[in-house]
Structure 1
């Protein structure tokens, strides 16, 4: 059935709004003017989580307490508040809880669009090594359940979060690019798409209410942010005014880290391998029937460039002229380096 333009205009429920990507999505939903409900798990003593909830409340979010796998409660809330859009931004450990959420949405009958927790690669096309593959299989299971239930959906494939793609953490944009040395994956020439968190949030909300995005996979492929690691390193060197040495992580290095099966680090390593060795973000064409690129939907919307994001890091670092200068690379890169306690590419 074709949806009439503007037929979705009701309240949204964001699940996972206290998470990294979730906060961008919840903020964008509030900024868009849509009534925004936020489901939070009761209890918890994390000060940062509590502060995020309070900030969302002050911005206008209506906080609902409950668990996503509590079918009866979720069904009740969906009906009571007439929720038309549900956006899940749940973390990896809770992906399969969405199966119960799907049952609740189907029973409630109010939901006109569901955006499951994706926000990375197209999990029907990418095939990372384990343990990333198991993670993707769980997401595929959720997709198939949505389709079997006949719930209208939009799958958001936003690729990598804008920031330096560190290999051993999940929140790269929270940490600036290196100031001591670069770690390059493979030969550093495989390109990936990078998208700022604020743009992910803004464009996700637009898609959620757009009839053209109904039952479609939305790919974020901004050509201005299609870069490889060598290009990103050179851009950062230009910003800080000096040259940094480069160490190289080989394919074997990343596979070894993935094989350790230490979660979530090994999942991130396996996805980093898929991006910068296999080229999983660029090795396929978009099928126009069920897929669309975000700029085709919104050609008038400019996204933040990596150059602009790097400028933010410079401002936050408050670099002084005294530390700038030309540093020559003195050490020959080695194929294996020790781990650094810093973040990696989000997928």
Structure 2
């Protein structure tokens, strides 16, 4: 019997890409639904209409209301969470309720990013703490419910985009033809486009044994800042002005931002983790294991970024 999938956080940044891929593969699923607050639904009428036209059920409720969640779980066997950082811990209750709902077979927590258990330093990284608590709950409290952590590394759109407002944190400005590269420029980083995140989710669902109770390490491509710059120069037909934020300076900026309790601190930490090699692994990626065999290329990602900034 085909799976029945309900998505939490489907109207958010990555959630829209997840549901888009699920829709594109809707013939593989018996039911598709999203769960969201009625206020969220009311604020996005065009997107909601698109979902309805695509055969997606709209279930409204409060993620912190047990009765609403249990009602939403009826008739589904897979839960996908794409909730944002501000509600990551709410997943513990979602998982607790899924554990005691017999028809729910598998839960995909909101990972979709940097590997939070990469190495010895990972448990102390501030942006990882809430996700680590969710993983800890699953490890210590969940007995029946299956889980899959989809670890994608940084979104290519974020890494090769214009940046998050602080030029020192790296970025590629198409209009100004300027790039700020983190590290030496030759430090490798594994990236994943957001459409590919959605496609990898579908692949993981459709390959349940390969993805059962584990972290799947997937990505679109591995590159370096210098290779990204070269692709931008190739596609724009011009040389760019280039500057660098070396690792020591990145660490200093990160410490300053956290000490000042600035929102950009998380961005600096992630940039530092990526520059240090926190997206690279000794073992092969899991792309092949789940049948995710046609990811986007660096050229695809740069072409999209140029279009977005034009």
Matched residue, 1:204: 201
Cα offset, 1:55, TM superposition: 2.4
Question: Secondary structure of 1:36's partner?
Answer: strand
* Deviation by residue 1:261-315 (Cα, 9 ceiling, x = unmatched): 3454211110011001x11011x323x8xxx61223316x311111023233445
Q: Does the aligned pair in 2 maintain the 1:154–1:208 contact within 8 Å? A: no
Any residues of structure 2 matched to 1:269-284 within 5 Å, and which? 269-276=268-275, 278-282=276-280, 284=281
Query: Which whole-Å CA distance do the structure 2 matches of 1:256 and 1:46 have between them?
Result: 43
User: Residue 135 of structure 1: SS of its match in structure 2?
Assistant: helix
Matches within 5 A, 1:279-294: 279-282=277-280, 284-286=281-283, 293-294=286-287
**Aligned with residue 179 of structure 2, among 158, 177, 182:** 182
Q: What is the CA–CA distance in structure 1 between the aligned matches of 2:294 and 2:206, rounded to whole Å?
A: 19
Give 1:316 shift.
Answer: 5.9
With over 3 angstroms needed to count, the CA separation of the structure-2 counterparts of 1:60 and 1:28, relative to structure 1, is same
Gaps of 5+ in 2: 166-170
Q: Does structure 2 retain, via aligned residues, the 8 Å contact 1:187–1:248?
A: yes
Q: TM-score, normalised by structure 1?
A: 0.77
Question: Which whole-Å CA distance do the structure 2 matches of 1:145 and 1:270 have between them?
Answer: 25
2:21, 2:199 within 8 Å by CA — same for their partners in 1? yes
Give the number of the structure with larger relative contact order, counting CA–CA contacts within 8 Å between residues 6 or more apart.
1
Equivalent of 1:255 in 251, 257, 267: 251
Q: 1:304 aligns with which of 284, 296, 300?
A: 296
Distance, in Å, in 2 between the alignment partners of 1:157 and 1:203 is 10
Q: Is the 8 A contact 2:116 2:122 kept in 1?
A: no
Structure with the greater alpha carbon radius of gyration: 1
**How much is the aligned-residue C-alpha RMSD, in angstroms?**
2.5
Secondary structure in 1 matching 2:190: strand
In 1, Cα distance between the equivalents of 2:95 and 2:135? 10
Structure 1 unaligned residues grouped into runs of 5+ = 1-6, 170-174, 319-347
Task: Give the corresponding residue for 1:27.
Answer: 20
SS at match of 2:3: coil
After superposition, residues 1-347 of structure 1 pair within 5 angstroms as 9-33=2-26, 34=29, 35-44=31-40, 47=43, 49-79=44-74, 82-125=75-118, 127=121, 133-147=125-139, 148-150=141-143, 151-163=145-157, 164=160, 166-168=162-164, 177-180=173-176, 181-211=178-208, 212-222=210-220, 225-259=221-255, 260-261=257-258, 262=261, 264-276=263-275, 278-282=276-280, 284-286=281-283, 293-298=286-291, 301-314=293-306
Partner of 1:340 in structure 2? Answer: none
Shift of 1:45: 8.9
Q: CA deviation at 1:22?
A: 0.5
Instruction: Note if contact 2:7-2:33 (Cα within 8 Å) is conserved in structure 1.
Output: yes
Q: Which has the higher helix share?
A: 2
What's the offset of the Cα at 1:255?
2.7
For residues 123-152 of structure 1, the C-alpha deviation after alignment (integer angstroms, 9 at most, x for no partner) is: 11254697xx23312111111212331220
Distance 1:106 1:315, change over 3 A: closer
